[in-house]
Structure formats: structure tokens, C-alpha cells
Structure 1
Amino acid sequence: MIPNILSIVNEKGGSGKSTLAINLAMYQSIINKQDITIVDTDPQKSIATFQLIRNEENLPRAFKYIYKQGEDLKTYLNSKENKNLIIDTGGRDAKEMRIALINSDIVVIPTTPSQFDLSVLDIMIDRVKMAKEINEKLQVIIVINRVNPNPFLTKKIDDIKTYIKELECNYIKLANTIIYERERYKNSISNGQSVIEADTQDKAYQEIQNLSLEIFK
């Protein structure tokens, strides 16, 4: 079962938030038969574009989509409608991200394996700790995302995992699943599909499945 509210947050753009939001939502919808709503707070509206492509390709709707900002977002999250939500926040320190943090059951922070992203991750952890003072139920999962599959980078990934492990506490955990930079993710999104609609033996499918099992346990 999905928590009432799951948010995907990172102040830095390019961390892969929207792609994760879509694929996690599709997994819950297609595999677990959940009625999912993605709440988009990013003015770029990438998920709306995905929905448009999906409609043009005559593919069935897999999740409900709404766009909310500011006080409208806060009001919606405090309403009785806030069931089975995945919130996709923008890549900046915005009001919407802070509203999401203090209303979520689970927050997923995707971070790419670069020194700049790790610096931003430190800032995000500070944001999370402040939100935890208000939102006692908050649990946080950090996901190493968009990783170059080059096997010669294994040592670098191990170093990043070690660094993030040092940030762990009773409510902040590093996901065991690593999401790699695969063409399957890009091609699927551009066709209005998720990797869940691919072959179950596909590596991207397996990554999203494994991550979903970690998050939605």
C-alpha cells in the first residue's frame, strides 16, 4: 500500500524527480492496482506533457493528474481527498517543497553521483530535519539516481554510498536500489509510457520494481 502522501523532492534540477514520480505511480497503478494521483507542483509541468503524449498515443490513463501551487496545494493536502498521492516538486527551494515536506508520510530524495549534488543533499537533509520537528511521522528515503552504468565507476558509487550512510538515522535511510541512467527511461517517457510497461526482464523495469518494493513495503 502506498502511504497517503509520498513526495519526491530535491532543490536541484536534473535529479530525475519527474521520471521517478511517473514510474513509481505507474508501478502502483499497474502492478498493485492502486488508484494513484500525481500532484504536480513544478511550473514546467513535465508530467502534464507525459499525460498529453499518452493521450495522443491512445494509451489508457494510469493515474490522475492535478497541478497545485501555494495555498491551493496546502488546502488540497489538508482535505479528505489526500489519498494515494505522489507529489512531484520543482527543482528549487520553493514554498511547495516545504509544504510537501511537512505533509508527507514518506519523502524520496533522488540524488545523482556528483559532488555538487551531494552538497545540495546536505542542504536537503537540513530541510528534512526542520520538517521533522513539525511532521513527526516523516520518513525519508535517499535514492542514488541517474548513475552511469560504466563498471569502472563502481568505486565512486561505493564512496557515495558510504557518505550517504553517514547521514542515516532512524527516519533517514539510503535505498538499496540504485537507478541507472538508461535509454529505456528516456525512450519510455518520450512515448508516453513507463518502464513498467516493458518486458519484466528489462533492467529498468527491475530497478523500479525493486525500488517500489522498498518504498511501498
Structure 2
Amino acid sequence: MIVLFGGQKGGSGKSTLAMNVGALLASQGKDVLMIDGNSTQGTLSNWAARRESTELPQLTYVEKSGNLYKTLDSLRSKYDHVIVDTGGQDSKEFRTAMLAADVMISPIKPTQADTETLVYVSSLIEQALEMNAELKCYIVVSQARPNPRIKAVEETRTLVSSLEFFSLLDSVIYTRKSYEDAVAAGASAAEMGDKKAAIEIENLVNEVFS
């Protein structure tokens, strides 16, 4: 399966989710390729390079820029899963990856600013579906505050529930220091011992990959 983490707005957790999902799949014995389509930032590839020096389950990673369609299409049958991170902007990498992906996941913070970007992303999806009719697009609420008194998650769910071309996942990813610490260690939050983060990522993977 080719899974794209993409969207228009940076800072919503796309790279972090790509890392944690990739690490979980690798721990399950899957052959995973990570593609960093945001080479100017290099967050994903830097994390994967640090992971190589650990004893954690390994995965393959490459940096690619420009048109990703042919690259992704050629790799589809060579790996169990291909995870693509194209960063937080409208780019050639993002648009062409949508043409080859089986699934796109767009993380959003539970804020008005993040929610509003989905209208534009929805228009890009509509164009992509003309060439890739099987593309499934999901929204996941990310970087939510783990405070039950804060209603931002519920409010965001209400705002995005009517968006065309998207399905809203039940999974919610909360703000946790372990996600930040794991990036520096080439690990996942679960591998850093955070059981709550582990459950969040497992829930996300079960929703998307089952």
C-alpha cells in the first residue's frame, strides 16, 4: 500500500505520523520504504538516518523530489508499504504523489486555521480523483491537547464532517513530548516507552490498514 501524508499547512504533524506509522509497520515485520518528498526540510530522512545506528526494526528510506508518480508506481510491488511525506505545502511532489497513492492522510490541528486549509486540499483531491479514482483520503485530528475539558476536537469534527472527498478518522493524536523526543532518537514514541502514544498510532494503523 502507498500511503501519503500530505496537506497544505505545515506543522500539523505529517512527518511525525509518517515516522511513527512506518516504525510500527516495520516492528510488525513489514518491508517498509519511507520516501521523503520534502527534501528542503529533510525531517523524515534525517530521522531514518539516525534510526540506522540503532537496533530498532529497520526500514528503507530515500529522498525524492519533482514528479513522484513514476517512482511510486514502480515501487508499489517491491515493498509491503510505501510511506510518503511531502511536507506542508502545495507542491509538485504532493500533487503527483496523490496520483499514485492508495491512501492520503491529512493531519490537522484542532484549530480554525488548519480546518480552513482543507477546502483547498479538497479541490486538489477532486482533480487527483480524475486520474486516481481509487484514492482514499482521510483526516486525522493531530496535536490535540489531552485535556477532556477542551472541546476543540469535537468542534473540529463538526466542522470537517461535511467536507467532500474526505473521511474523518476516529483516531486522535494528542500532543506528547515523546513524539518530539523520538524524532531525535530515530525511534517512534512507542519505542520510547510511551504506551498512550503507542495506542494512538496502533488505532490509526488499524483504521487505515485493516
**Alignment of 1:160 onto 2:153:** no
Q: Is the 8 A contact 1:26 1:196 kept in 2?
A: no
Provide the TM-score with structure 1 as the length reference.
0.89
Report the structure, 1 or 2, having the larger strand content. 2
Which residue of 2 is the match for residue 189 of structure 1?
183
**Alignment of 1:178 onto 2:172:** yes
* Uncovered stretches (5+) of structure 1, i.e. residues with no partner: none
Match of 2:4 among 4, 7, 23: 7
Match of 2:34 among 31, 38, 42: 38
Q: How many residues align?
A: 207
4+ runs deviating over 6 angstroms: none
What does 1:202-217 align with in structure 2 at a 5 Å threshold?
202-217=195-210
**Alignment of 1:129 onto 2:126:** yes
Provide the TM-score with structure 2 as the length reference.
0.92
Change (3 A) 1:49 1:205: same
Q: Is the 8 A contact 1:37 1:64 kept in 2?
A: yes
* Uncovered stretches (5+) of structure 2, i.e. residues with no partner: none
1:91-146 deviations in Å (ceiling 9; x for gaps): 11110000011111111011111111111111111111111121111111100001
- Offset at 1:204? 0.4
Change (3 A) 1:115 1:80: closer
CA distance in 2, matches of 1:53, 1:6: 22
1:20-74 deviations in Å (ceiling 9; x for gaps): 001111111102x110001111021111211232234x33452100111114x23
Change (3 A) 1:94 1:173: same
**Alignment of 1:106 onto 2:103:** yes
CA distance in 2, matches of 1:209, 1:138: 22
What does 1:73-152 align with in structure 2 at a 5 Å threshold?
73-80=68-75, 83=79, 84-152=81-149
Report the structure, 1 or 2, having the larger helix content. 1
CA distance in 1, matches of 2:9, 2:22: 22
CA distance in 1, matches of 2:75, 2:206: 26
